[in-house]
């Protein structure tokens, strides 16, 4: 129970010693759901994600995708059907981007589908604690050309498409690794990502890309090899 203390604040008092029982359904990890949603942009076929956590960050990513042309069914439930047959924009909504650090994951797929991306400064804990260094390194190594922009936005172009690369990430960033994976899946040829993050949600993205048709080796390790560039399927 909560008890008021001081100037209107409350404290939580827990009385232990009682038998606990019951059952809950555990929904998926947000940090796994966001890169999988971004990966849906890589294919013009529909993808279905199940056990999706019903939280605000997932809704923001869904809204970002819809603003880029995606058709999404099942919002508000744990099963989402995402159809990115038509990607009509390359500038994700700046207000939504400012609310979600994971919006940076849209950059690789947009470069692959549109040849260009313009992203406002991502929200969350950028730039106080985290930077875009690993993301920029990966995207530039794979053919993205950074364009000077006075508005503070993050602008990249790849008019000739993405290309495979071998790179050692400047940090073992989870989202940086995922950005590199998403770009590598679209780049025609073999890419190698060293100093990669090994978290379970990175491994889940590897499995998702494999089911889409990319070849990914080294899942769960710090060295990932990706053979990409083929037409990716819906899964």
Residue 125 is among the residues annotated as catalytic for this protein: yes
Span 120-175, pLDDT tens digits: 999 855 554 567 889 999 999 999 998 877 678 889 999 899 999 999 999 999 99
Q: Which of the following is catalytic: 44, 90, 125, 149? A: 125
- The dihedrals phi and psi of 164, each to the nearest 5 degrees, come to -70, 160
Check residue 151 and give its pLDDT. Answer: 78
Within a domain: residue 131? yes
How confident is the model over 115-122, as a mean pLDDT?
93
pTM of the shown model:
0.88
Span 178-230, pLDDT tens digits: 999 999 999 999 999 999 999 999 999 999 999 999 999 999 999 999 999 99
Within a domain: residue 83? yes
Check residue 118 and give its pLDDT. Answer: 95
Rounded distance, CA 235 to CA 232, Å? 9
Structural domain for 106, as ranges: 27-227
Rounded distance, CA 229 to CA 227, Å? 7
Q: CB neighbours of 30 closer than 8 A, spacing ≥ 6? A: 53, 55, 57, 58
Confidence of residue 11 (pLDDT cuts 50, 70, 90): confident
From residue 134, give the alpha-carbon distance in Å to each of 49, 141, 214: 27, 11, 22
Within a domain: residue 111? yes
Specify the CATH number for the domain of residue 168: 3.65.10.10
CB atoms within 10 A of CB 225: 16
Instruction: Indicate left, alpha or beta for 142 from its phi (over 0: left) and psi (-120 to 50: alpha).
Output: alpha
Within a domain: residue 232? no
């Amino acid at each position: 129970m909560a008890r008021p203390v001081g100037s209107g604040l409350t404290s939580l008092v827990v009385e232990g010693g009682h038998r606990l029982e019951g059952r809950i359904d555990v929904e998926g990890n947000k940090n796994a759901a966001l890169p999988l949603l971004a990966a849906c942009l890589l294919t013009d076929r529909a993808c279905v994600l199940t056990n999706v956590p019903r939280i605000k960050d997932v809704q923001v990513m869904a809204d970002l995708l819809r603003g880029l042309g995606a058709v999404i069914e099942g919002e508000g439930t744990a099963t989402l059907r995402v159809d990115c047959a038509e990607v009509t924009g390359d500038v994700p909504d700046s207000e939504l981007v400012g609310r979600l650090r994971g919006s940076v994951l849209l950059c690789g797929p947009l470069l692959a589908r549109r040849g260009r991306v313009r992203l406002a400064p991502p929200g969350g804990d950028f730039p106080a604690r985290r930077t875009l260094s690993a993301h920029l390194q990966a995207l530039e190594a794979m053919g993205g050309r950074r364009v000077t922009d006075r508005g503070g936005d993050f602008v990249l172009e790849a008019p000739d498409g993405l290309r495979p690369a071998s790179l050692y990430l400047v940090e073992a960033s989870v989202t940086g690794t995922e950005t590199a994976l998403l770009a590598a899946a679209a780049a025609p040829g073999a890419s190698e990502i060293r100093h990669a993050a090994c978290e379970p949600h990175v491994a889940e993205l590897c499995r998702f890309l494999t089911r889409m048709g990319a070849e990914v080796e080294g899942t769960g390790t710090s060295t990932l090899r990706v053979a990409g560039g083929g037409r990716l399927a819906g899964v």
